[in-house]
Each structure stands twice: as structure tokens, then as C-alpha cells.
């Protein structure tokens, strides 16, 4: 890679759609397409496609990555073992692009829809042997300093239960360090603090399709972060994660998957809009791996039915819970307004005497059947994932590369 004569970038916005392989962004194109036939309008992702990256980790037992190892590669330039956060394969702490940005006097931000101490986000700001150590990751966000300064200026997502604990109240400590604290959309919109921690759920945020008006969207959080970070004359590094695309993939839940890809699509749009007014910013969107082996068609009839997915009002989990609460099968007509067969209704009804999880599973199977969505696994898959870029130096991310190359390029081009 040649960087001689490359103009340095002031601001970096990196967006990671967790688990968002090609089938998800192709699925989005079908999903956005209003009619069933004709030429499909390119998505925002299509417009900024530049290349692909390989996601495999250096784990001794697995050749498919988890989110921690992939996050670490994207954050530090080092592929590592599954479960590692901010450590190389020899378990040595390696600097992340977020930390480097802070070191260069920039402001930094972490935004996501999972708890903000979850694997992908944590890989950019913690150095820990195992991703399961949630409390310790949260502690790191406050305790690890870069030349005496707190390393993250804006944190928005879920996770109160890890930040307000019996043994330690990190929110109070952040506030003592002149941070603002917000816990709902109203507070987020009216808050004026330049440094801010916003926790909008005990653990993860509801998926977009299930949110009420008190919970911010990924876009609203991204805009709130940009508003603050851009105050710094030295620029900023912002990581935005569409955290739950992956979770929906693990559940083989296409309704949740499209809900979260839509949420991520809007945040990507907002980032591009910010960058398009200026010439000193790079926006990169990519995934850490794909999940579930999602496939567009499974019924051998050359017809995927996104309109079925579009018509559904909530995630299968929420519908299943309502069915259990009400024991009223007629609510299905509202939540899944397409014609279900007698047999499907019987199957669902049977699960009402079982666990909510069983009802959810039944709904997921039925939705996959009617939408003709296929899945091959409940885990991650090893195919390459897309890279999208906009702005200054976007060409450096084109072609086929390793996930670790993204961080290596970012270290080089950050002003």
C-alpha cells in the first residue's frame, strides 16, 4: 500500500453492520424495491460499494471468526483468536484506531444498539482476554486513559446493568468527569454536554421495528454523536455499530434482520450526509462476518417474498410474547397480515402451552416459509463481506483485502 502524497483525513466514521454479509445488503435491495418486477433501485450501500474483505481469525480451533476477533482486526490491524478484545494472538495489548485518534488529539465516539460494552464496540476501546468480561470492559472505558485523558468522549447505546452496579457506579463516575448522562430520546435531544454517556436499556436496545418513541434510532444516536465530536478542531473517530443484524441472523429471524439492516442503512445515510458537506472526512461501512447463512429463496420457486416480511409489525419475539400474554390467536391477523394456513395456526396454538421461545421458533419457521428465506446455520459463516466507502481516500479501501487491512490503512491516513 502506498500512502506517499496521500492527503490525511481529519474525521473517520466507521460503521460496522454486525453479521451483515452480502445476502443481507442484497436482501435490503429486494426489500426496498416496491414492486415485484423490474429494475431494482440501488441501495445506499450499492452506491458506495468499493470492495470486499476476508474475515477469518487466527484461532487455533476455529476457522470462522467471532465478533471479538473480527472487531479486534478491524480496530487494531491484528487478526487474533476468537474471544480476544484488543489483544494480538500472543495476548499482548495492541493500540486501536480509536485510541490512536485520541492520542492525536481527536475526539472519539462509540455508538451501537447492543450494550456498549459488547464485543465489536469493546474491541475498539478495551484490552481483555475474553469478551465475556462485561463489567471489566465497562471499567476499562473509564479507567484506561490516553495521556491522562478519558479515551471515549461519546458513548450511546444500551447497558445500564453493566454501568450501574452494586460494586461500582460508572455513570456517576463519568458525570464526575464532566460527562452528561441521558437515558431516553427526549433527554438525548435536549442535552448540551460535549462529552456524553447515553444508556437507553439495561442490556440491548429493542430492535428498530419494536422501539417506542422513548428509544433513539441508530441514526439519532449517530447524529447526536457527530454534533458533539465535530466541535473538536482536530477532528474525530466515530464507530457506529448495527449490533443486532447478527443477533437476528443467529435467530434465523428475517424480520429482525431487515429491521436492523434498515436501521443501519439510515445511519450510513446520515454519516454520508455529514461527510458530503466537507472534504476532510472518510466514511467506511463494512461487516465483521456474515451470520446464519441467510439465503434469498429457499422454496425452489425462484421467488423471494419481501412483501411478507414488510407486512409484519413486530419481531417474532414480541409477537410471541403478546400471544402468550393474551392467549388470543386473533391478534395474529394484525401482526402478520397475510393468509396463514389452518395448519400454521394449529402449530402456533399448540405452542401457547409451551415456552414463549417455542412460539417464537414456530413463528420464525412460518415467516421463513412464506417469505422463502433460507438459513444454513445458527452461527457465523466464513464468506467475505462487503466494504463500502465515501469521501477522502475512499479508493484505498477498494478491491479485495483482509479485515485487518482496514485498521492498517486508517492508522496511515488519520491526520
- For Zn ion, which is the closer residue by CB, 122 or 150? 122
**Residue 353 labeled ligand binder:** no
Q: Helix or strand or coil: residue 279?
A: coil
H helix count then E strand count, the chain: 18, 16
Judged by CB under 5 A, the residue of 153, 288, 344, 405 near Zn ion is 288
Q: Is 335 annotated as a binding residue?
A: no
Q: Which stretch binds Zn ion (CB under 5 A): 17-25, 85-93, 259-267, 383-391?
A: 17-25
Query: Of 141-200, which residues contact Zn ion (CB under 5 A)?
Result: none
Residues touching Zn ion: how many (CB under 5 A)? 4
Tell me the C-alpha distance between 223 and 411, whole Å.
24
**Residues whose CB falls within 8 Å of the CB of residue 246, separated by 6 or more in sequence, listed in order:** 18, 19, 20, 67, 288, 291, 380
Other C-beta atoms closer than 10 Å to the C-beta of 213 total: 8
CB 68 to Zn ion: min, Å: 8
Binding track over 75-114 against Zn ion, x by CB under 5 A: ----------------------------------------
Nearest CA-CA partner of 74 in 113, 10, 136, 16? 16
Which listed residue (67, 217, 243, 290) is catalytic?
A: 67
Of 217-276, which residues contact Zn ion (CB under 5 A)?
Answer: 246
- Looking at 59-67, 296-304, 337-345, 404-412, which segment touches Zn ion (CB under 5 A)? 59-67
Beta strand spans in 264-384 (E) = 281-287, 290-291, 295-296, 373-374, 380-381
Residue nearest Zn ion, Cβ-based:
67
Question: In this chain, which stretch among 11-19, 148-156, 183-191, 230-238 interacts with Zn ion, using CB under 5 A?
Answer: 11-19
Q: Taking Cα atoms as reference points, which of 415, 108, 118, 160 lies closest to residue 288?
A: 118
Q: Shortest approach of Zn ion to residue 18 CB, angstroms?
A: 4
Residue 119 and residue 250 in contact, taking contact as beta carbons nearer than 8 Å: no
Segment near Zn ion (CB under 5 A), from 60-68, 126-134, 262-270, 321-329?
A: 60-68
In 243-287 the beta strands, taken as DSSP E runs, fall at 281-287
Contacting residue, 10, 18, 118, 199, with Zn ion by CB under 5 A:
18
Q: How far is the CB of 154 from Zn ion (least distance, A)?
A: 22
- Measure Cα distances from 187 to 115, 161, 182, 190, 377 in Å: 19, 19, 5, 5, 40
Q: Which is nearer to Zn ion, 77 or 391 (CB)?
A: 77
Closest CA to 124 of 97, 84, 148, 161: 97
Rounded to whole angstroms, how far apart are CA atoms 64 and 310?
A: 31
Tell me if 147 is assigned to a ligand binding site. no
Q: Is residue 67 part of the contact set for Zn ion (CB under 5 A)?
A: yes
Give the interface segment with Zn ion, choosing from 20-28, 215-223, 283-291, 334-342 (CB under 5 A): 283-291
Question: Can you tell me the distance from the alpha carbon of 333 to that of 340, in angstroms, rounded to the nearest whole number?
Answer: 9
State the nearest-atom distance from the C-beta of 193 to Zn ion, in Å.
Answer: 30
67 belongs to the catalytic site? yes
Query: Whole-angstrom Cα distance, residue 45 to residue 47?
Result: 5
| 22 touches 290 (CB < 8 A) | yes
Regarding 65 and contact with Zn ion (CB under 5 A), the answer is no
Cβ proximity of 117 and 100 under 8 Å: no
Residue 374 CB, shortest distance to Zn ion, in Å, is: 20
Closest CB to Zn ion among 55 and 351? 55
Size of the chain, expressed as the number of residues it contains: 415
Q: Please, what is the minimum distance in Å from the beta carbon of residue 119 to Zn ion?
A: 7
361 binds Zn ion (CB under 5 A): no
Using the minimum distance from each CB to Zn ion, give the nearer residue, 57 or 393.
Answer: 57
Distance CA 407, CA 96 (A): 8
Instruction: Summarize as ranges the residues that interact with Zn ion (CB under 5 A).
Output: 18, 67, 246, 288
Binding-site residues: 18, 118, 120, 241, 246, 250, 288-289, 380
Q: Which residues are catalytic?
A: 67
Binding-site residues for Mg(2+): 18, 118, 120, 241
Amino acid at each position: 500500500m502506498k500512502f506517499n502524497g496521500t492527503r490525511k483525513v481529519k474525521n473517520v466514521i466507521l460503521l460496522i453492520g454486525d453479521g451483515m454479509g452480502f445476502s443481507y445488503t442484497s436482501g435490503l435491495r429486494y426489500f426496498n424495491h416496491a414492486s415485484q418486477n423490474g429494475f431494482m433501485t440501488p441501495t445506499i450501500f450499492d452506491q458506495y460499494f468499493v470492495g470486499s474483505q476476508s474475515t477469518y481469525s487466527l484461532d487455533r480451533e476455529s476457522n470462522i471468526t467471532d465478533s471479538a476477533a473480527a472487531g479486534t482486526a478491524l480496530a487494531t490491524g491484528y487478526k487474533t483468536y476468537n474471544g480476544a478484545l484488543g489483544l494480538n494472538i500472543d495476548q499482548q495489548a495492541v493500540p486501536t484506531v480509536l485510541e490512536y485518534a485520541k492520542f492525536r488529539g481527536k475526539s472519539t465516539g462509540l455508538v451501537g444498539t447492543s450494550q456498549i460494552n459488547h464485543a465489536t464496540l469493546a474491541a475498539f476501546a478495551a484490552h481483555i482476554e475474553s469478551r465475556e468480561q462485561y463489567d471489566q470492559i465497562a471499567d476499562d472505558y473509564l479507567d484506561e486513559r490516553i495521556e491522562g485523558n478519558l479515551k471515549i468522549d461519546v458513548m450511546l447505546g444500551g447497558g445500564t446493568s453493566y454501568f450501574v452496579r452494586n460494586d461500582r457506579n460508572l455513570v456517576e463516575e463519568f458525570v464526575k468527569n464532566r460527562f452528561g448522562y441521558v437515558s431516553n430520546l427526549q433527554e438525548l435531544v435536549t442535552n448540551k454536554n460535549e462529552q456524553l454517556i447515553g444508556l437507553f436499556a439495561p442490556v440491548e436496545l429493542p430492535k428498530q421495528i419494536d422501539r417506542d418513541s422513548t428509544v433513539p434510532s441508530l441514526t439519532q444516536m449517530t447524529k447526536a454523536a457527530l454534533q458533539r465530536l465535530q466541535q473538536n478542531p482536530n477532528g474525530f473517530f466515530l464507530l457506529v455499530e448495527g449490533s443486532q443484524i447478527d443477533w437476528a441472523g443467529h435467530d434465523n429471524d428475517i424480520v429482525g434482520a431487515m429491521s436492523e439492516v434498515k436501521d443501519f442503512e439510515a445511519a450510513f445515510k446520515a454519516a454520508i450526509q455529514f461527510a458530503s458537506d466537507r472534504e476532510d472526512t472518510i466514511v467506511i461501512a463494512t461487516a465483521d462476518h456474515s451470520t446464519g447463512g441467510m439465503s434469498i429463496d429457499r422454496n425452489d420457486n425462484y421467488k423471494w417474498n419481501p412483501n411478507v416480511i414488510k407486512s409484519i409489525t413486530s419481531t417474532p419475539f414480541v409477537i410471541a410474547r403478546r400471544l402468550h400474554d393474551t392467549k388470543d390467536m386473533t391478534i395474529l391477523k394484525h401482526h402478520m397480515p397475510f393468509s396463514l394456513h389452518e395448519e400454521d395456526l394449529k402449530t402456533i396454538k399448540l405452542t401457547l402451552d409451551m415456552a414463549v421461545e417455542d412460539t417464537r421458533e414456530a413463528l420464525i419457521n412460518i415467516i421463513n416459509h412464506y417469505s422463502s428465506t433460507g438459513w444454513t446455520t445458527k452461527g457465523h459463516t466464513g464468506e467475505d463481506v462487503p466494504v463500502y466507502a465515501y469521501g477522502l481516500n475512499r479508493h484505498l479501501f477498494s478491491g479485495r483485502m483482509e479485515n485487518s487491512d482496514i485498521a492498517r490503512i486508517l492508522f496511515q491516513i488519520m491526520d
